[in-house]
Structure 1
Amino acid sequence: MMDLVDVWPVFGTRLFTPRLELRVARDEDIPGLADAGIRGIHDAERMPFAHPWTDEPPETLRREMARYLWRERAAVAPGTWMLNFAVLDDGVPIGIQDLRAVDFTPLRTVSTGSWLTRSRQGAGLGTEMRAAVLAFAFDHLGAEVAESAAIDWNEASLSVSRKLGYCENGVKRVTARPGTVEREVLLRLEPGDFMRPDWELRVEGVEAARAALVA
């Protein structure tokens, strides 16, 4: 009898770092991810995300997180996709690391975004989880460029990018909250500039993932 991975192959994609497991988020991960977000990610005074989803009350945040993950999952297709990896520490969801692409076959370009529950910040886990998806994209999917971005005051995110070898690639103006204009720093990384960690990424389900994502 088939299991869920046979029906939706990307569910078999799992990345392992020294401290973390990253797996494409399943329904059973959603309650834990919602709780991790509700426990807090950033100071309330400033919004680091392009969409202010953390401003929502807990009951709305839970519902909207589920809708968001379901919507992005349903849109996955060869060449254009968003993978939301649940970041697990000892089996407990502590954040999300995403990896996305549009028209991947000719462009070979991916971009990333992430969040980590506040109690687990400051221990290098943000760097570890982004390094995992970069190694996956460059080494297993054939990406040639990785892009990212952060509001100019978000030193934690910018520090992760610098550690991993990104270079600045311009700025743009964004409205993270209605009526609030921010300056977003754009970042770019190529495989030759990737500052690889001193550990080897272990990957499961890569063949099925490649078939589902690379046109």
Structure 2
Amino acid sequence: MRNFPVFRLRVTTPRLELRLPSLDDLDDLADLAVEGIHDPQAMPFLFPWTDAEPASRARSAYQFHFRQWAAWTPQKWTCPFAVVFDGQIAGVQEVSAADFAITREVATGSWLGKRFHGRGIGTEMRAAVLHFAFDGLGAQSATSGAFTDNHASLAISRKLGYRDDGVDVHVRRGERAETRRFRLLRDDWTTPPGFGIHGLGPCLPLFGADRAEGT
């Protein structure tokens, strides 16, 4: 881990810990994916990986993380944090960027096991990764997006202060579907109390970030 210190990085909130998953954590994430993430009639993801059979869904949960770790460079990276709630793996909160050293912009995405819905975890884990991006990496903006019928994700973006940033059109399960884009500026962000970042210093070069703010 000396050469990839991101595995020691932690982002904490009053209820959550965000960390890169261990192999045991990946087992738990795979089990969550098999249990279910959303209602079967809905599809919140641009790539419909949850439409696959359970065994394939479980493998996808593993392979996604391996792919991101293998492809990581300071110029283009995706950091998929496992979300830990009450000692249990609850989902994934991702943050990614391209040319962050220049753009100072990140994008976020996430999923949460269905049995953890309705507890405010989705909002808290998004806030955690925004704290990491703005106060840890020194980001100037963060983007997110969701299908127009993904009301939970849209509500989180609006609750956290994002501004509308336009509409995109996609094909979802063979039909036309729109997503709404959102953007949050650093000046519009206030870190909630009780949030922290641990072990960031050695990781900064891997994120293309030359300094940490507020850590």
TM (norm. structure 2) is 0.93
Corresponding residue for residue 210 of structure 1: 204
Report the more deviating stretch, 21-30 or 105-114: 21-30
After superposition, where does 1:115-154 map in structure 2 within 5 Å? 115-154=111-150
Q: Which residue number in structure 2 is paired with residue 62 of structure 1?
A: 58
Structure 2 CA distance for aligned equivalents of residues 48 and 210 of structure 1: 32
Write the distance in 2 (CA, Å) between the matches of 1:169 and 1:131: 19
The question of whether the paired residues in 2 share the 8 Å contact of 1:164 and 1:196 is answered with no
Contact in 2 for aligned 1:164/1:195 (Cα 8 Å): no
The aligned residue for residue 183 of structure 2 is 188
Residue 139 of structure 1: how far off its partner (Å): 0.7
Answer yes or no: is 1:176 the counterpart of 2:172.
Answer: yes
Picking from 70, 77, 80, the partner of 1:74 is 70
Write the distance in 2 (CA, Å) between the matches of 1:38 and 1:20.
22
Q: Tell me the C-alpha RMSD between the 2 structures.
A: 1.2
Tell whether the 8 Å contact from 1:22 to 1:86 is kept in structure 2 after alignment.
yes
TM-score by length of 1: 0.93
Tell me the residue number matched to 1:10.
Answer: 6
Deviation at 1:191, TM superposition (A): 1.1
Q: Shift of residue 10 of structure 1?
A: 0.8
Choose from 89, 92, 97 the match for 1:93. Answer: 89
Whole-angstrom distance in 1 between the partners of 2:191 and 2:198: 20
Matching residue within 19, 31, 36 for 2:27: 31
**In the aligned structure 1, how far is the partner of 2:77 from the partner of 2:29?**
21
Q: Deviations over 1:44-88 (max 9, x none)?
A: 112010011111111111112211110011111113100000001
Segments of structure 1 that go 5 or more residues without pairing to the other structure are none
Q: CA offset at residue 90 of structure 1?
A: 2.7
Q: Secondary structure at the match of 2:2?
A: helix
**Structure 1 position 195, deviation (Å):** 4.8
* 1:43-62 pair list within 5 angstroms: 43-62=39-58
Partner of 1:157: helix, strand, or coil?
helix
Task: Tell me, yes or no, if the aligned pair for 1:149 and 1:187 is still in contact at 8 Å.
Answer: yes
Indicate the percent of aligned positions where both proteins have the same amino acid: 44
| Most deviating of 166-175 and 187-196 | 187-196
